[in-house]
Each structure stands twice: as C-alpha cells, then as structure tokens.
Amino acid sequence: MELFLQQIFNGIMLGSTYAIVAVGLTLVFGILHIPNFAHGHLYMFGAYIAFFLMTIAGLGFWTSLLASVAVMGAVGVILERLAYRPLRERPHIDSFISAIGALMILETSVIVIWGPQGRRIPNPYPGIIEVLGVTMSYQRLIVIVAAVSMILLLNLFIKRTTLGATIEAVAQNREGAMLVGIDVNKVSAITFAISAGTAAAAACLVAPIFIISPTMGALLGMKAFVIVILGGLGSIPGAIVGGYILGLLEAMGGGYLSAAYKDVYAFGALIVILSLKPTGLFGKEVA
C-alpha cells in the first residue's frame, strides 16, 4: 500500500508538470492550428536560464523562476514573429520545417554556452516529510501546488478576462475575429508568450529535482504532443487530464513494471485511447 501511495504522489507531481507544458502547447495549436515542435526546447531553454541566474548571477530560486518566465515569454514572441507569422498562409510543412530549425538553434545555443553535459540546479527546499508512509520532498510538493495554482489562474484568465475571451475567439474563428476588429497578430504573439512562459515555469519547478540537459526538450516535447492528442486537439481540459493520466501511468508503470520502459507507457496509452476514441478524451467529431 505504501508503494502504491508513493507512486500516486510521484505520478501527480509528474502529471502536474506535463499538464502545464501541454496547456501551453494546446493554446498555440488553438491559435495557429499547427503544432509547435519547438515547445519542448522552450521548456529546456527556460531551465537553463534559471540555472544561469541561480548559479552564476546568484539570484534566488523564485526570482530566477520569474525572470526565466519573462525571458522565455519574450523568446516566444520572437519565435512567433520570425518563425511562424511569415508562414501563416503557406503550407503547414513550411511551419514544421521552421519549428525544427528553431529547436535546433535553441539546443545548439545551449550546448555552445553551457556544454553538452547535464547540469543540476541547487535544490532550494531539500527537506522531506512523511505522511502515511509516503516520502514527500518539499520541492515536489511545491511543484504540485504551483502547477495547480497556475492551471487555475490560467483557466480564470481564459474564462474571466477580455484578453482571454479574445484568445478563445481567435482560436475558434480567425477570420471572424479579424472581421470584428481583433488584432490576430497581437493575440498570436501574446499566446506564444504565455505558452513559452508556462513551459519555462514548469522547467524551473522540476529542475532542482532532475538533471537538466540540452536534449531534455526533445522527449518532453514528444510527451506533450501525446498528451494533447490524448486529451483532444485544442482542448485545454483535455490537456490537463491527459497530463495527469500520463504522469500516473509513468509512475505506476515504473513502480510495478519497469522504470526502464516508463517512457514507452505514454505511447502505449496513446494507441489504446485513440483506438477507443479517435478524437481523444475531450475531442469533438468534425462534421
């Protein structure tokens, strides 16, 4: 029973991270209707910015996290302006190629600046507590609380603010939004900033727990796409639920089967769920 509860806790922590990253990817997909293949590398770059600010600049953890979010928000705006906006009316394959170029630039830049070896961010909260036989580190608890808070705040932003409603309007009908006077370019840039910023926040939260590396964005990006497809393309609730499903699957599979194959479970879940519901958990049939 203790092992079960421990893996549930670990799964919720992983799922919280995946949910934040997947929500950002879903927002961009809703605006552009194309997947941002560089999303995982934005996550990776955000972790390295926090690493630099904490270990070289000497800033605290939360200051570094906020600064990383701000910097990556700016990077997201630049990426949208240079890599995606000029190709909006062109075939989607052009945007795919542009995204691949962007992720290669991000990964190569990190290797040139910090080297190819893995790095570790000092853990600002190294303490642990034990509840019902489950060992919980303070940093993992912070990941869960911060992730849930971010998801709730993002939901309030989308549902309760004018800008959030504008983002939803552009996602539902770009041409209609333009006809009523909405600046879709501005909305697209803001959405990219939110997406990159949330990815950076997720990376900074888990960076003290895991080793960061220039290649960490590739696998995380693939998992984010799996989550988005599992939940249903363009569905924010689906991205959240899919993130927690994937986190729990990895934790339970790693605890009871084999940790060596934990990354395989995501793709197995994708096959099973799509065979039962091809549109994903929250996806809608297209008429």
* Pairing status of strand 134-137 against strand 128-131: antiparallel
3-state SS string for 78-134? HHHHHHHHHHCCCCHHHHHHHHHHHHHHHHHHHHHHHCCCCECCCCCCCCEEEECCE
Query: Would you tell me how many other CB atoms lie within 10 Å of the CB of residue 246?
Result: 26
What was the pLDDT predicted at 284? 63
92-123 exposure pattern, b = at least 16 Cβ within 10 A, e = fewer: eeebeebbeebbeebbeebeeebeeeebebee
Each residue's pLDDT tens digit, 89-122: 787 788 888 888 999 999 999 999 999 888 988 8
Q: Can you tell me the distance from the alpha carbon of 188 to that of 69, in angstroms, rounded to the nearest whole number?
A: 18
Which residues share a beta bridge with 129? 136
What was the pLDDT predicted at 287? 45
Q: Can you tell me the distance from the alpha carbon of 108 to that of 34, in angstroms, rounded to the nearest whole number?
A: 24
Residue 284 identity (one-letter amino acid): K
Q: Can you tell me the distance from the alpha carbon of 13 to that of 7, in angstroms, rounded to the nearest whole number?
A: 10
Each residue's pLDDT tens digit, 170-210: 887 888 888 888 888 898 899 999 999 999 999 999 999 98
Q: Can you tell me the distance from the alpha carbon of 252 to that of 262, in angstroms, rounded to the nearest whole number?
A: 9
Name 65's Cβ contacts closer than 8 Å, sequence gap at least 6: 50, 200, 201, 204, 205
Q: Can you tell me the distance from the alpha carbon of 198 to that of 204, in angstroms, rounded to the nearest whole number?
A: 10
Mean pLDDT, the chain, integer:
86
